[in-house]
């Protein structure tokens, strides 16, 4: 604490109860001399003025708060608060560089914070959810730091917090903290008592559970945009006021605001640890490689806890949608845009190689350029802590595999629609130079309106697994083309082969080339042992089977050369006058018998 300077303003100078800007500048400049260049008044009240100033000696911007003398009790209170701030050194609590008394004014110098008051920010509307999480970490970290130094903050109100454009929060006011309590003038009651724990509103010192309450009340305010009621029992659940509130945040707030102190978190550190367990600890996004691995037998709770921590302030994990050869798909909430999306997190074992990560990024960029009503949109690619994921449009419906498993073989008209929409999508992708390589029922999603949505474009090529990119949970791809299984060159006709196999699966309710091993599948494929609906269902026309069989030819050159020609052939099957001709009786017999190599 700096002692009173000689030569300052005389003690008898009249108090400045309502400072005029010019008077405030003049009296502060006269008292402090040339050390600080006063830039502007950032805030003012009856007895205090906050200047943005420049320290001419240390060449940095500072905050300069001036207390114009009203009475000794008010000055002592101001200086005692400066002492309290001086006890602490945490980025979420304003620093004090210097303090003292000069004539009839007291001052304190602290760090300058580029930001706005939380009160002003929330007046524009509830805060974005990622910034809520960042503010919660800052606030709880600062409170725990104060507790370790024996200080109970007691009140953190919106008017006493500054937030930066990145959402970082700083507590600027400790005038009602436990350290200052003995110096508070009689009759000085704190405002914003809804942000104080009930047990300290009457002047009690309180303990860390009281600060847990004030943290919960402040988070309630920034999430909902509404001040919490004085009686915490009357507080509505945040999700009632803002349906997109993450469950982790709501649970945190409701526990922190319990009326009985023993039912709250006992410390700010416990509350922060609970937040980190559900919402993670990361606030910035960057693709990373390595940093941990996860075996295929890692249990789901451990996997999801790791993923929650990695997703940090970007996404809230909601539900597991499926597990595939490349990773897991989750329903998540994008906390920036406050909408639900699908998130596919890749198996860490697939992304340990930086070249694979770079290739995956390039393929994701290509896939993201696709714009077609039957292709799932890719939104973003990101990663942390050894995990890499991408987000995509959420299709609120089953995959074709789930649909067939649940309902059995699909009606012919539905399969024809599936073929048309899939071929339209593939024509668009192939025209953009992108081959899917892993067309299978699990990658074909059915939207609520019945339309088809194809997912995972480019992923197979990027990760370059076995079988030319085709995958299967069983380890033996049932819908891959022969050239994929043999490790040969793959082009768009491989996608057409896989689509025809998927169509037969939808018609028959089983894989067209069943087998426990790759060799067994290849044996059927390479001898054109086509599946047949004969004896199983009579509503599948010979014309449709002939179209599918051509696409399933083991000879790549015998297949349709493009998705467009395959689509034209499918369309002709619904026109009796346009059926594909049968060349001769032997070919017709071969199609009847199935298993003939003629095709």
pLDDT tens digits for range 222-262: 999 999 999 999 999 999 999 999 888 999 999 999 999 99
What fold is seen in the domain 400-593?
Answer: Transferase(Phosphotransferase); domain 1 (1.10.510)
- Which has the closest alpha carbon to 443: 485, 501, 487? 501
pLDDT value of position 328: 87
pLDDT value of position 323: 81
What mean pLDDT is reported for the chain?
A: 84
- Tell me the CA end-to-end span of the chain in Å, nearest whole number: 96
> What letter would DSSP give residue 93?
B
Mean pLDDT of 92-104: 92
Residue 354: pLDDT band (50, 70, 90) is low
**Residue found under tokens 């798909």:** 329
- Which has the closest alpha carbon to 139: 271, 231, 258, 284? 271
pLDDT value of position 589: 39
> What letter would DSSP give residue 375?
B
Residue 489: pLDDT band (50, 70, 90) is confident
Which run of H or of E encompasses 67? strand 60-68
User: Which of the listed CATH numbers 3.90.79.10, 3.30.200.20, 3.30.530.20, 3.40.50.300 matches domain 21-111?
Assistant: 3.30.200.20
User: Which of the listed CATH numbers 3.40.50.80, 3.40.1160.10, 3.30.200.20, 3.50.50.100 matches domain 300-392?
Assistant: 3.30.200.20
pLDDT tens digits for range 429-448: 999 888 888 899 999 999 99
Residue 580 has pLDDT above 50, yes or no: no
Residue 507 has pLDDT above 80, yes or no: yes
Is 438 marked active-site? yes
For the chain, give the percent of residues with pLDDT over 70: 84
* 293 C-beta neighbours (distance < 10 Å), count: 12
Residue 578 has pLDDT above 70, yes or no: no
Which residues share a beta bridge with 331?
Answer: 319, 342
Select the more confidently predicted residue: 574 or 209.
209
Q: For the purposes of burial, counting CB atoms within 10 Å of the CB of 240, is it exposed (0-12), middle (13-18) or buried (19 or more)?
A: exposed
pLDDT tens digits for range 386-435: 788 889 999 999 999 999 999 999 999 999 999 999 999 999 999 988 88
Select the more confidently predicted residue: 323 or 588.
323
What fold is seen in the domain 117-279?
Answer: Transferase(Phosphotransferase); domain 1 (1.10.510)
Give the pair of three-digit tokens for residue 322. Answer: 């499926």
Give the pair of three-digit tokens for residue 277. Answer: 């367990």
pLDDT tens digits for range 45-82: 777 899 999 999 999 999 999 988 668 898 999 999 99
SS3 content of the chain, % helix, strand, coil (to 5): 40, 15, 45
Residue 476 has pLDDT above 60, yes or no: no
Give the pair of three-digit tokens for residue 451. Answer: 């339309």
**Signed CA dihedral, 561, 564, 566, 568: sign only:** negative
pLDDT tens digits for range 1-58: 333 333 333 333 344 445 677 888 888 888 888 899 999 998 887 778 999 999 999 9
d(CA 73, CA 70): 8
In this structure, are residues 591 and 545 in contact, taking their beta carbons and an 8 Å threshold? yes
d(CA 95, CA 82): 10
> Exactly one of 138, 173, 438, 456 is catalytic; which is it?
438
Highest mean pLDDT among 129-138, 150-159, 389-398, 462-471: 150-159
pLDDT value of position 598: 31
In this structure, are residues 506 and 415 in contact, taking their beta carbons and an 8 Å threshold? yes
Select the more confidently predicted residue: 63 or 325.
63
pLDDT value of position 384: 79
d(CA 104, CA 28): 10
In this structure, are residues 301 and 334 in contact, taking their beta carbons and an 8 Å threshold? no
pLDDT tens digits for range 173-212: 999 999 999 999 988 889 999 999 999 999 999 999 999 9
Which pTM was predicted?
0.67
d(CA 351, CA 225): 42
Cβ neighbours for 153, distance < 8 A, ≥ 6 positions apart: 143, 146, 171, 174, 177, 178, 211, 214
Which residues share a beta bridge with 36?
Answer: 55
Give the pair of three-digit tokens for residue 185. Answer: 């003038």
Give the pair of three-digit tokens for residue 249. Answer: 């945040």
**Contacts for 343-346: CB closer than 8 Å, 24+ residues apart:** 343/311, 343/315, 343/389, 343/390, 343/391, 343/392, 344/389, 344/390, 344/391, 344/392, 344/456, 345/307, 345/387, 345/388, 345/389, 346/387, 346/388, 346/389, 346/463
For the chain, give the percent of residues with pLDDT over 90: 53
Helix (H, G, I), strand (E, B) or coil at 117: strand
pLDDT value of position 287: 35
Which residues share a beta bridge with 48?
Answer: 67
Residue 108 has pLDDT above 80, yes or no: yes
Cβ neighbours for 186, distance < 8 A, ≥ 6 positions apart: none
pLDDT value of position 3: 37
Same CATH fold, 300-392 and 21-111? yes
pLDDT value of position 458: 63
pLDDT value of position 581: 43
DSSP-derived secondary structure for 218-258 = HHHHHHHSSPPPSSGGGPPPHHHH-TT--HHHHHHHHHHT-
Least confident among 94-98, 326-330, 451-455:
326-330
Domain ranges for the chain: 21-111, 117-279, 300-392, 400-593
Residue 294 has pLDDT above 50, yes or no: no
* CA-to-CA dists, residue 478 to 123, 200, 504, 592, angstroms: 58, 68, 12, 24
**Residue found under tokens 């629609």:** 417
Q: Where are the alpha helices (DSSP H) in 33-128?
A: 72-86, 118-123
d(CA 287, CA 294): 17
């Amino acid at each position: 604490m700096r002692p009173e300077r000689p030569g300052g303003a005389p003690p008898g100078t009249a108090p400045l109860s309502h400072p005029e800007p010019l008077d405030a500048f003049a009296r502060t400049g006269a008292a402090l001399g040339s050390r600080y260049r006063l830039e502007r008044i950032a805030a003012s009240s009856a007895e205090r003025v906050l200047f943005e100033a420049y320290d001419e000696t240390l060449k940095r911007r500072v905050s300069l708060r001036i207390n114009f003398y009203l009475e000794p009790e008010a000055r002592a209170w101001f200086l005692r608060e400066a002492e309290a701030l001086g006890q602490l050194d945490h980025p979420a609590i304003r620093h004090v560089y210097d303090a003292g008394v000069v004539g009839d004014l007291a001052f304190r110098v602290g760090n300058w914070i580029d930001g706005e008051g939380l009160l002003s920010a929330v007046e524009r509307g509830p805060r974005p959810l990622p910034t809520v999480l960042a503010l919660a970490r800052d606030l709880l970290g600062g409170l725990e730091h104060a507790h370790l130094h024996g200080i109970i903050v007691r009140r953190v109100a919106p008017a006493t917090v500054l937030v930066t454009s990145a959402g970082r929060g700083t507590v600027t006011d400790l005038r009602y903290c436990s350290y200052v309590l003995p110096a508070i003038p009689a009759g000085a009651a704190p405002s914003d008592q809804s942000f104080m724990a009930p047990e300290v509103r009457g002047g009690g010192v309180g303990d860390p559970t009281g600060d847990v309450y004030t943290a919960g009340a402040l988070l309630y305010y920034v999430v909902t945009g509404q001040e919490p009621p004085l009686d915490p029992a009357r507080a509505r659940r945040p999700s009632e006021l803002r349906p997109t509130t993450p469950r982790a945040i709501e649970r945190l707030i409701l526990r922190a605001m319990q009326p009985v102190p023993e039912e709250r978190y006992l410390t700010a550190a416990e509350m922060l640890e609970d937040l980190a367990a559900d919402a993670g600890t990361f606030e910035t996004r960057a693709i990373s490689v390595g940093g941990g691995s996860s075996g295929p037998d890692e249990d789901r709770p451990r996997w999801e806890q790791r993923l929650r921590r990695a997703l940090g302030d970007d996404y809230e994990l909601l539900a597991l949608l499926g597990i595939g050869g490349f990773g897991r798909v989750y329903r998540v909430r994008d906390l920036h845009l406050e909408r639900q999306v699908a998130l596919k997190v890749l198996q860490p074992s697939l992304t340990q190689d930086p070249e694979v990560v770079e290739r995956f990024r390039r393929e994701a960029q290509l896939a993201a350029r696709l714009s077609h009503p039957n292709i799932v949109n890719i939104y973003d690619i990101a990663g942390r802590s050894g995990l890499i994921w991408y987000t995509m449009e959420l299709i609120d419906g089953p995959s074709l595999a789930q649909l067939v498993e649940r309902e059995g073989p699909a009606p012919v008209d539905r399969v024809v629609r599936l073929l048309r929409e899939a071929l339209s999508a593939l024509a668009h992708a192939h025209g953009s130079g992108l081959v899917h390589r892993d067309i299978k029922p699990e990658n074909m999603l059915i939207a609520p309106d019945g339309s088809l949505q194809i997912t995972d474009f480019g992923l197979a090529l990027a990760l370059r697994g076995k079988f030319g990119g085709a995958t299967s949970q069983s380890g033996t791809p049932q819908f891959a083309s022969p050239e994929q299984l043999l490790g040969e060159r793959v082009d768009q006709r491989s996608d057409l082969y896989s689509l025809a196999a998927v169509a037969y699966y939808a018609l028959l309710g089983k894989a067209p080339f069943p087998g426990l091993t790759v060799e067994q599948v290849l044996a059927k494929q390479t001898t054109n042992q086509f599946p047949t609906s004969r004896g199983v269902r009579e509503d599948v026309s010979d014309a449709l089977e002939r179209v599918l069989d051509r696409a399933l030819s083991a000879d790549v050159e015998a297949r349709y050369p493009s998705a467009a020609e395959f689509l034209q052939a499918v369309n002709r099957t619904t026109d009796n006058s346009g059926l594909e001709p049968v060349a001769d009786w032997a070919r017709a017999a071969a199609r009847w018998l199935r298993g003939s190599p003629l095709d």
